[in-house]
Amino acid sequence: ISTDSVYGPSRGLVENYLSRFGISGSFVNTSKLEDIQAAFRPQTRIIYIETPSNPSMLVTDIKAVAEKAHAHGCLLVVDNTFASPYLQKPLDLGADVVLHSVTKFLNGHADIVGGVIVTKTMELYKRIRPVMVNFGCNMDPHQAYLVLRGIKTLGIRVERAQQNAMAIARWLEKHPKVAWVRYIGLESHPQHELAKKQMAGFGSMISFELKGGLEAGRRVMNAVRLATLAVSLGGVETLIEHPASMTHAGMSRDDRMAAGITDGLVRYSVGIEDVDDLIADLEQALEPA
């Protein structure tokens, strides 16, 4: 059972590759416990959640889902990339395995590609490590060095970026061409109180919907000057992308819409630049939207 608005390639892994080994997945809104309950099957072994989710920014109650998973004899796996360990610690909330794309916040400088798996028990570690070794997922020494360098500034980077994100989210909420803004630090976010409870901060990821839909999204992508058009996130530089035509273009429109990834949705990864410069860039980019 997986979060439906999960990172596009994560969904593709389940649908296109794990299926070859007889493993199937159900994709549901994991912020709703009743949807998870309805998806359980006798053969269910893992609940895989991404919280906040990419790119719809929905928050799942890790502790509640962990209790439900364990009651059914399942493991809870959490992709913690959007929050980073600086803001959220899923193992303390009952998760069994935590994943991070090290490429993003942990490294923070957009110059490596890597990932990390953290297990709650040594038993799980011993089961997973041989798979990593045999599939060739090892990070080379120089990339590992760059990650360790990046982690030294994780706290200060996250603090500055989320400060910028709050100011930008509040500005976007008032913009006439924006239908809605989904930033977990806003009181208008449906899981704002849950985020306050299980996170130490709200992070720097924003999603917002343009009233002009798909074409408006494409126009904004072509109009930004300071933000970089790219599908990564979590670095010192601000990145912008249009999920419907980029990260989630491989999904059918019906599946994409069901997961809340609408035509005019824009994902904005806020960096550490001057916030007034970022707002000015968005203001001019939204003119043709």
Q: Are residues 121 and 197 in the same domain?
A: no
Q: Model confidence over 190-222: pLDDT tens digits?
A: 999 999 999 999 999 999 999 999 999 999 999
Structural domain contains residue 147: no
- Do both 94 and 134 map to the same domain? yes
At residue 255, the pLDDT reads 86
Same domain for 251 and 135, yes or no, is: no
Q: What is the pLDDT of residue 181?
A: 98
Number of H helices, E strands in the chain: 11, 11
Number of domains in the chain: 2
Report the first-to-last Cα separation within the chain, whole angstroms: 37
Torsion of CA 7, 144, 237, 54, to 10 degrees: 10
Q: Confidence class of residue 1 from pLDDT cuts 50, 70 and 90?
A: very high
Output the domain CATH number for residue 111: 3.40.640.10
Q: Is 184 left (phi over 0), alpha (psi -120 to 50) or beta?
A: alpha
39-90 pLDDT, tens digit each: 999 999 999 999 999 899 999 999 999 999 999 999 999 999 999 999 999 9
Domain of 190, in residue numbers: 154-286
Domain end: 141, 169, 200, which one?
141
Contact 66, 27 (CB under 8 A): no
Paired sense of beta strands 46-50 and 27-28, if any: unpaired
- CATH assignment of the domain containing 265: 3.90.1150.10
3-state secondary structure of 211: coil
**36 pLDDT more than 90:** yes
Average pLDDT taken over every residue of the chain: 95
In a domain, 148, yes or no: no
Is 110's pLDDT higher than 90?
Answer: yes
Q: Which of 263, 269, 260, 265 is nearest to 230 (CA)?
A: 269
Interior angle at CA 143, CA 138 and CA 147, nearest 5: 110
pLDDT for 259: 82
